[in-house]
Amino acid sequence: MSVPGHEARVIPISAAPSYDEPDGPEPMAKALAFLRRRISGDYEVDEFGYDAELTDKVLLELIRPIYHHWFRVETSELKHVPEEGGALIAANHSGTLPVDALMMQVALHDEVGRPLRLLGADLVYQLPVLAHLARKSGHTLACPEDADRLLRKGELVGVFPEGFKGVGKPFSERYRLQRFGRGGFVASAIRAGVPIVPAAIVGAEEIYPKIGELPFLARLLGLPYVPITPFFPLLGPLGLVPLPSKWLIEFGEPIRTDGYDPSDADDPMLVFNLTDHVREVIQQMLSELRLRRGHAFPPFL
Amino acid sequence: MTHTVLVTGVSRHIGARVASVLAADPDVSRVIGVDTVPPPSLTRAGGVSLGRTEFVRVDLRSPDIAEVIAVADIDTVVHMSLVSAPSRGTGRAVMKEHNVIGTMQLLGACQRSATVRRVVVRSTTAVYGSSPRNPAVLTEDMEPHDGPVHGYAKDAAEVEGYVRGFARRRPDVAVSLLRFANFMGPGVDSPLTRYFTQPVLSTVFGFDPRLQFVHEDDAVEVFRRMAKEDHPGTFNVAGAGVLLLSQCARRAGRPSLPLFSPVFHALGDVVRRAGLVDYSPEQVRLMSHGRAVDSSRLESELGWKPKFTTGAAFDDFLRSRGLHPFGGAR
């Protein structure tokens, strides 16, 4: 679905990269071949541990119903995402749990046909289960070495420059961008000469409205925060069900960096200014997109 | 130009293979192999013909090695006598002495020698450690976040320190430092190959590390090239690509048993004391966080790529041990 008045490009899901041969065998035989490959270990992962087949056929398949039916995600201005070559997507981060990362991955995978390689906090890679699922679905650690390597390989890299400050901010701060760290993502983009595509995600703020914290428990568990929402921990595990807010994801005009020399990445002034610029663009997109969406929970509110 | 090559660690599989390849090379006039124990006989499994290699039994920890180098007019030293796991009888202290003191003695002898022109030292990618905070793919220049603090990896990091010191003091000597991924192949017997031949593979719950292997044939070829030409510098050596531990287990047709990491650690201690499989703390970290390196510096320096990818090296190892994935042969 496209937003009226905007040129949204809708690409059918079948355009996404997949492992089906065009004149492939019967679905049953295909499923068996898939199982045989998985059981015998006869599949490829890239050097970051990205398992494209598992991601497309299993992991994203589990998230797609949530994307389409729970959050009813609508995307716009997908034309700003390059169809090939390295690019860096910078988006706002919110929602207490990083559900926005998953939704953006589905959006780019299914509607642009490109795997999204997110740069995540090191905490992700220390936690059991999350550590290997993050790698298998194509993501890696937020460090300059990994970012540079992915961009050099021409991958579509995603960052949430706000980090924990963004995803863990209280509900009262919603849709207000937090500080953007040191702008390491901008330096990486300059080094690789790839465009920065600003992205605004509206809807994630309302899924777990954080109204308080349990700092003692957070320290005990080694987590950045343990949230209190209207339903968690009050309703126990039931409180972990995200509220079905309406989501919009919009991509902005790419900010080119190929005019700079790669050595400009070491110029802190330039990096800070460009980081500020990206931040302002995203904040503006965010405010407009929020107005366009209206109520978070139509048709109830 | 003909060479006289000293190879340390010839009583072990890879060392013996490197010595025999160099001995078969017409450009090499003499190969002298040293080790603390005599090479296994050819009739035993794992015995490799050393060809015309002359074997000298030397304890590397003693200064005798200097005499060998001086008497034989050695010009190339290939140092591959690093022990990766303590043997059942002797333990960690002996292993450390062998690795670190042995290297110091050898480098000391090289430094005094007027004939040594080239030194090739075997190290390991374990010097990068395994950490959730390390970059996914490591290059030679990267400083690891959590450097090794245990066992073999720590020895190797210390050995590297001495090698760099030697290279500074003797800039006229071409020093190659080779960081190998885990060796894999029909003749390799290492903690990791023993791990994969267990009936059930214990893994760390919630982690699926990326592993990288280098096939023994490729390792031998790298040593041969490094011993014959000057390629100063530090190089990662690994087969292309990675395998996840879960993938390895499936290819080997072995069920895996995920254990919570404290249990894995505790079990590791018990098993290690019983002298079965090596579950040293570094091995446990590898089994949690994995490691992958970039070998492109080596490939551009040599103009050559390892013949076996990580996957192919592992499959060759499985074939040699008669291991198949579930549901028959591949």
Look up the CATH number of the domain holding residue A99.
Answer: 3.40.1130.10
ipTM of the prediction: 0.89
Question: Is A252 part of any domain?
Answer: yes
Query: What are the start-end ranges of the H helices in B12-150?
Result: 13-23, 64-72, 92-96, 102-112
Residues B29 and B5: beta-carbon distance below 8 Å? no
Distance from CA of A32 to the nearest CA of B (A): 12
The partner residues of B204 in beta bridges, in order of sequence, read: B259
What domains lie within chain B, and their CATH numbers? 3-183+215-237 (3.40.50.720)
Question: Is A219 part of any domain?
Answer: no
Closest CA to B250 of A132, A38, A58: A38
pTM for this structure? Answer: 0.89
pLDDT digits (tens, 9 = 90+) for A120-151: 998 999 999 999 999 999 999 999 999 999 99
pLDDT tier at B1 (50, 70, 90 boundaries)? low
**A141–B142 CB contact, under 8 Å:** no
**A42–B207 CB contact, under 8 Å:** no
**Residues of B with CB below 8 A from A152's CB?**
none
Question: Is A212 part of any domain?
Answer: no
Alpha-carbon gap, residue B84 to B87, rounded angstroms: 9
Task: Please give the average per-residue pLDDT across B220-231, as a whole number.
Answer: 96
For B204, which residue in chain A has the nearest alpha carbon? A128
**B136–A49 CB contact, under 8 Å:** yes
Question: Is A234 part of any domain?
Answer: no
pLDDT digits (tens, 9 = 90+) for A190-210: 999 999 999 999 999 999 999
pLDDT digits (tens, 9 = 90+) for B58-114: 888 888 899 999 889 999 999 998 887 776 666 778 888 889 999 999 999 999 999
**Domain span at A100:** 50-207+242-293
- Give the pair of three-digit tokens for residue B291: 């490691």
Question: Is A194 part of any domain?
Answer: yes
Residues B170 and B111: beta-carbon distance below 8 Å? yes
For B249, which residue in chain A has the nearest alpha carbon? A41
- CB < 8 Å & 24+ apart, contacts of B163-166: B163/B103, B163/B107, B163/B119, B163/B121, B163/B123, B165/B107, B166/B107, B166/B110, B166/B111, B166/B119
Cα separation values, B153 from A200, B100, B133, B282, Å: 45, 11, 18, 7
Number of structural domains in chain A: 1
- Whether residue B8 is predicted with pLDDT greater than 90 in this model: the reply is yes
Closest CA to B139 of B244, B291, B243: B291
**B249–A41 CB contact, under 8 Å:** yes
